[in-house]
Amino acid sequence: MPILCEPSASAGRLLYSIGGDVRAVDSLSEAARMLDRDPAEILVVIGPRAPASEALAFAAHMRMSRPTLGVILTRHEVDVALLTSALQAGIREVVRAGDDAALAAACRRSYEVSRRMAADTPVVQQAERHGQIVTVFAAKGGCGKTTLATNLGVVLANGTGHQVCIVDLDLAFGDVAISMQLDPARTVVDALPMAGHLDTAGAASLLTRYRPGLEVLLAPVTPGDAEKITPALVGELLTVLRGIFDFVVVDTPAQFSEHVLVAMDSSDHHVLLTTPDVPALKNLRVTLDMLDLLSYPRDIRSVVVNRADSKVGLSLEHVEHVVRCPISARVPSSRAVPISINKGTPITLDTPAHPVSHAIARFAQQRLLPAEAPAAGAPAGRVSVGRRARRSA
């Protein structure tokens, strides 16, 4: 039963707009006491007579203590400054007083958001993890980076009890949504109003569920939105997500952008992908040199060769000689991979017995899953010197 905070003498019209059984209280302190007695309540409507400062403080407190609670504010006058402050405080919508239809619609939307958060993001209640961030990178496009990232996410979540999130950091041309046939109703661009004060509830509201235990943070779909995402926001997102999930798998664009370097700085593991062709190997060698220059520890790197059995005149021994780095995994070539992409089902889920699935699962087991043991403190082998190296360069 929703709660309306408004003096009884002027609450009649608001009660009608909200609809159903509504509990009316005269003050926000009384509303807070009522919420303490009813932990299942998910909607509070604040009438226009409540002081704006008190309404904002109430919403900010409830956002942290009751993330599924929706707070709707009604005002006689609505301006940009009020909307900005309300959004920062966690108020879901601001409605002009007297617009009965708008208030009723806002209540319906708030109910839907609260129910979706309660059903789709139970991991919010399990925060305070120190999850592993795994960044998948290839300096040359077309190596299968998104395919590897999505399948790693499936393997790390499937049957392990781990909570996993895939982050599509290819902000301009991300393919995770289309590869997994997900509706990008919520993307990383929706984090912009929360920049600087992002919390677990805010981060959870950005995610799209693929299956139990596996959530996805999708890249923007509107042209120009990629430029709005700052490297600082990327760092903030990754910090919050690692507190929610056991593993955060980051799919990156094929370039060393500031956003990618932020992900590299935050990572517990760098998965460097290549294919057995000269341009890809040259770019991998440059990548390894760059990581050395930026003082990233070598023991958190894994080189994965995709389409490793391709008959292109380069042996795996030659590949190791060129890159001067051991190969951690060899993923075979198969028509089943593009077929699984077209179906929107990662091959490790669609055909878990396939050699490609076995190769990815074996790599995850050998290189990523054992790293979870020291997760209580700082990332194992992680030395935060990359940013300092760049600043001093």
- Neighbouring CB atoms inside 10 A of 139's CB total 25
- pLDDT tens per residue, range 259-303: 999 999 999 999 999 988 888 888 888 999 999 888 899 999 999
* Residue (of 327, 286, 303) closest to 140 by Cα position: 286
Pair 107, 146 in one domain: no
pLDDT of the residue at 116: 74
**pLDDT value at position 188?**
94
The yes-or-no verdict on residue 21 having pLDDT over 80 is no
Rounded to whole angstroms, how far apart are CA atoms 300 and 268? 6
- Quick check: 195 pLDDT over 90? no
27 and 95 belong to one structural domain: yes
52 and 173 assigned to the same domain: no
* CATH number of the CATH domain containing 139: 3.40.50.300
> pLDDT digits over 146-173, tens only?
999 999 999 999 877 899 999 999 999 9
List the domain range (segments joined by +) for residue 134: 127-392
Count of domains in the chain?
2
In angstroms, the CA 274 to CA 283 distance is 8
Q: How many angstroms separate the CA atoms of 284 and 335, rounded?
A: 25
On whether both 202 and 70 belong to a single domain, the answer is: no
Please provide the average confidence, as pLDDT, over all residues in the chain.
84
Q: Which pLDDT score, from 0 to 100, does residue 125 have?
A: 44
Is 70 exceeded by the pLDDT of residue 373? no
For residue 242, the model assigns a pLDDT of 92
Indicate whether 180 pLDDT > 90: yes
Contacts 24+ apart (CB under 8 A), 289-297: 290/256, 291/264, 293/389, 294/261, 294/264, 294/385, 294/386, 294/389, 294/390, 295/383, 295/385, 295/386, 295/388, 295/389, 296/264, 296/270, 296/383, 296/385, 296/386, 297/381, 297/382, 297/383
Q: What CATH code is carried by the domain that includes residue 93?
A: 3.40.50.2300
Of 120, 140, 171, which residue constitutes the final position of a domain?
Answer: 120
Above 60 in pLDDT, residue 383? no
**In this prediction, what percent of the chain has a pLDDT beyond 90?**
38
Question: Are 297 and 282 found together in one domain?
Answer: yes
Q: Are residues 138 and 95 in the same domain?
A: no
Indicate whether 98 and 177 sit together in one domain.
no
Same domain as 157, residue 95 = no
CB 97, CB 76: distance < 8 Å: yes
**Do 88 and 203 share a domain, yes or no?**
no
The pTM is what?
0.66
pLDDT above 70 (res 377): no
| Residue 387: per-residue pLDDT | 47
pLDDT of 321 reads: 74
Domain boundary among 74, 89, 120: 120
Q: Over the stretch 93-147, which tens digit does the pLDDT of each residue have?
A: 999 888 888 888 888 888 888 877 766 544 444 445 688 999 999 988 888 899 9
Asked whether residue 40 falls in the same domain as residue 131, the answer is: no
294-347 confidence digits (pLDDT tens): 889 999 999 999 887 776 656 667 777 777 888 888 999 899 999 999 988 999
Q: Which of 103, 120, 137 is the last residue of a domain?
A: 120
Same structural domain, 185 and 53: no
User: Do 160 and 114 sit in the same domain of this protein?
Assistant: no
For residue 34, the model assigns a pLDDT of 87
Separation between Cα atoms, residue 304 and residue 296, nearest integer Å: 18
For residues 173-201, give the mean pLDDT. 89
Q: What is the pLDDT of residues 56-101, one digit of tens each?
A: 999 888 887 788 889 999 998 888 888 888 888 889 999 988 888 8
